[in-house]
Amino acid sequence: MSHIFTVANQKGGVGKTTTSVNLAASLATYGKRVLLVDMDPQGNATTGVGIDKHTLERSVYDVLTGKVTIEEVLRPCADGSFDILPANRDLTAAEVELMELSGRESRLRHALLRVADRYDFIIIDCPPSLSMLTVNSLVACSGVIIPMQCEYYALEGLTDLVNTIQRIGKALNPGLRIEGILRTMYDPRSSLTNEVTAQLHQYFGDKVYRTTIPRNIRLAEAPSYGQTALQYDRHAKGAIAYLGLAGEIIRRCKAEGQRRPFN
């Protein structure tokens, strides 16, 4: 069984791509077979694992538009610990082209069906907007991991995202649910952080991950070297936090057993 999770938040700057890349790397460290899917035209997840997005001959764009099969585009990340379905600016064109194609909301889902049995976890990094690319990401997964900062405006954005997930679940993906809420750039000394955390626990209960991701310079520096936090400095607080998150997710999935297969 492959667990497919989309890392999503319509608000930018919350650590979405950082979470996608480092969660994939951390799951691989636990010996899991992992695929990272970059669905953001900025291609930051692609460069963040050591791949030059400017030299790509094929990308997820070609898969979504039916030009090639997913097997022709998959490639290992720079250190070979997990695979990636890379992206670059070509993906911007997919927004327009998908509107004219049949089954446009399910293109990614059908592509992943071809390779899902190769992986224990598939992590999808989507853009910070409600676009056709985001819809594809939400239709393709069984659960949504929502990274968010503990601040007032983040709560407002979370409400919008939850409504979006519910609408897509009702119309296109009945099995879709919130997998977990991840608190990023976390500062326990802040009274606002503690107030927001209390509200999250009140409304989402055990959906809120126990693991929190602190503000961490080493975590922020790693992408500029085309490395995950574990490669750049595995002893950094940020790297250790993502290892903790991966462990928490693995334990949750193990507890659920075969209850939520990808099909």
Spatial separation of the C-alpha atoms in residues 199 and 156, rounded to whole Å: 12
- Compute the average pLDDT of residues 24-33: 98
pLDDT over threshold 90, residue 256? no
pLDDT in tens, 6-28: 999 987 788 999 999 999 999 99
Strands annotated E in the chain: 3-7, 34-38, 75-76, 83-85, 121-125, 143-149, 177-186, 208-214
Spatial separation of the C-alpha atoms in residues 113 and 119, rounded to whole Å: 11
Spatial separation of the C-alpha atoms in residues 124 and 144, rounded to whole Å: 9
- Pairing assessment for the beta strands 34-38 and 75-76 based on DSSP bridges: unpaired
Structure-derived torsion over alpha carbons of residues 5, 30, 228, 139, reported in degrees to the nearest 10: -10
The whole-number pLDDT of residue 157 equals 78
Cα within 13 Å of Cα(160), Cβ side: 13
- Compute the average pLDDT of residues 205-212: 96
Q: Which of 31-45, 78-92, 146-160 has the lowest mean pLDDT?
A: 146-160
> What's the chain's average pLDDT?
92
First to last CA, the chain: 9
Q: Which residues pair with 145 in a beta bridge?
A: 7, 180
Encode 55-80: b = buried (16+ Cβ within 10 Å), e = exposed. ebeebbbbbbbeeeebeebbbebbee
Cα within 13 Å of Cα(227), Cβ side: 13
* Vertex 31: Cα angle to 27 and 34 (nearest 5): 50
Spatial separation of the C-alpha atoms in residues 50 and 158, rounded to whole Å: 31
Q: In whole angstroms, what separates CA 41 from the centre of its chain?
A: 14
pLDDT over threshold 60, residue 31? yes
The whole-number pLDDT of residue 263 equals 42
The whole-number pLDDT of residue 152 equals 78
The whole-number pLDDT of residue 258 equals 46
Domains of the chain: 3-256 (3.40.50.300)
The whole-number pLDDT of residue 260 equals 47
Spatial separation of the C-alpha atoms in residues 169 and 161, rounded to whole Å: 12
